[in-house]
Amino acid sequence: MGTGWERYGQPAAEAQAALVRLIAAEGGLTDPAWRLAFEEVPRHLFVPYYFVNRVGTYERLWCEDPDPIRRERWLRGAYYDGPLATRVRDGELISSSSQPSLMAGMLQALEVRDGDSVLEIGAGTGYNAALLSHRLGDSKVTSIDMDEEITESARTHLAAAGYRPTVVTGDGARGCAERAPFDRIIVTCTLPFIPYDWLAQCSPGARILAPLSTGLIALRVEDDGDGRSAEGRFLGTSAYFVALRGSGAVPERRVSGLPHRLAENDLFRFLLTLTAGSLEPREALSLWERERRPSRDRFGVTVRHGHQWAWLDDPQGPYSWPLGRTAEGPATAPRN
């Protein structure tokens, strides 16, 4: 495969090595296989341009800028441990390259094994698919996005880096039945609920890792005799992604009547978003204070028999809230 260093040489190699050291120093990349992937897949090939927010507008940095200082800024930014806005349409961010340290944590939390088949929801720049391909091989990786411009761009970036996983243009909420079954599903866009089509496309024992609310839910899929079910807890980390578009789009929730310090509190915002449609903001606040400001890893999600719900501490406990919609229609309360 190509290394991606030929044009930018030592500065790019040094920037990538520094990024890997930074992630490792913060406790990431403990799996040698994933560390090697981050060391050998050049991120700059996947972000030939990106946008920097400048007080209500976006400044474009790109690899072909005639100004050498701006080209240097572009290269430094490509290896910065932060998200990069890669597509902006009518002033709205529609696609980004995720923060590398968050990507590293998600890939390790995916718990892949040799031979696993992985579906990625949200192709983005193709960088995550390249890391997966490095670890598992091209034939084991499928990436899907509904925007044809994004998937075509991802294929181009992947080919430049020497990887050729399957990249599909389609509605990620519907999965990719023609490439099923999958042993792992990793999602790089925020969801309001878990699409039921994914469970049907999973092997028993499969793992789904997805941003939900402002956290990361890790679900184990099982065959319970009446169909597929899934259950799991949130990881402790926060996670902010561009919302899924298409049939699983995230509805916007407006918050009013609460002090700004509460509305913007990270853990409270997680609970508020997770219980949207079930609790009013002040009801969510009462629960949050009564339960001593619970961390994300006290919450979980169950998907079973056409219903799904979030819960606090125990899926059969007193605190549970329906998510999204049932397999047949609008959300209803779970039947425990």
Burial class (CB in 10 A: 0-12, 13-18, 19+), 203: middle
| Helix (H) or strand (E) segment spanning residue 74 | helix 68-78
For a pLDDT cut of 70, what percent of the chain falls above it?
90
Per-residue pLDDT band at 260 (split at 50, 70, 90): confident
95 classed as catalytic: yes
Neighbours of 33 (CB within 10 A): 14
The SS3 assignment for 34 reads: helix
Asked if residue 209 lies in contact with residue 181, where contact means CB atoms within 8 angstroms, the answer is no
Which has the minimum average pLDDT: 118-132, 148-162, 321-335? 321-335
Confidence of residue 73 (pLDDT cuts 50, 70, 90): very high
* Average confidence (pLDDT) over 87-103: 87
Q: What is the pLDDT at residue 7?
A: 67
What average pLDDT is seen over the chain?
89
- What confidence tier does 334 reach under pLDDT thresholds 50, 70, 90? very low
Active-site option among 95, 96, 97, 153: 95
Q: What are phi and psi of 65, to 5 degrees?
A: -60, 130
Sheet of strand 84-89: strand arrangement? 57-62, 49-54, 84-89, 92-97
Ranges of each domain in the chain: 9-223
pLDDT band for position 129 (50/70/90)?
Answer: very high
Asked whether the beta carbons of 73 and 56 are under 8 A apart, the reply is no
Please write the tens of the pLDDT for every residue from 207-252: 999 999 999 999 999 998 878 999 999 999 999 888 876 554 554 4
Whole-number pLDDT of residue 328: 53
Work out whether strand 215-223 and strand 202-212 pair parallel, antiparallel, or are unpaired. antiparallel
3 pLDDT higher than 50:
no
User: pTM of the predicted model, to two decimals?
Assistant: 0.91
CA gap 281, 276 in Å, rounded: 9
Share of the chain above pLDDT 90, in %: 75
Asked whether the bond before 181 is cis by omega within 30 degrees of 0, the reply is yes
pLDDT tens for 33-57 read: 999 999 999 999 999 999 998 777 7
How far is residue 153's CA from residue 87's CA, in Å, rounded to a whole number?
11
In CATH terms, the superfamily for domain 9-223 is Vaccinia Virus protein VP39 (3.40.50.150)
Cα 204 off chain centre by: 22
Helix axes 100-109, 32-40, angle to 10 degrees: 140
pLDDT band for 256, please (50, 70, 90 cuts). low
110 pLDDT more than 80: yes
pLDDT digits (tens, 9 = 90+) for 150-206: 999 999 999 999 999 999 999 999 999 999 999 999 999 999 899 999 999 999 999
Binned at pLDDT 50, 70 and 90, residue 332 comes out as very low
CA dihedral (315, 318, 323, 328) positive or negative: positive
pLDDT band, residue 148 (cuts 50/70/90): very high
* Amino acid found at 80: Y
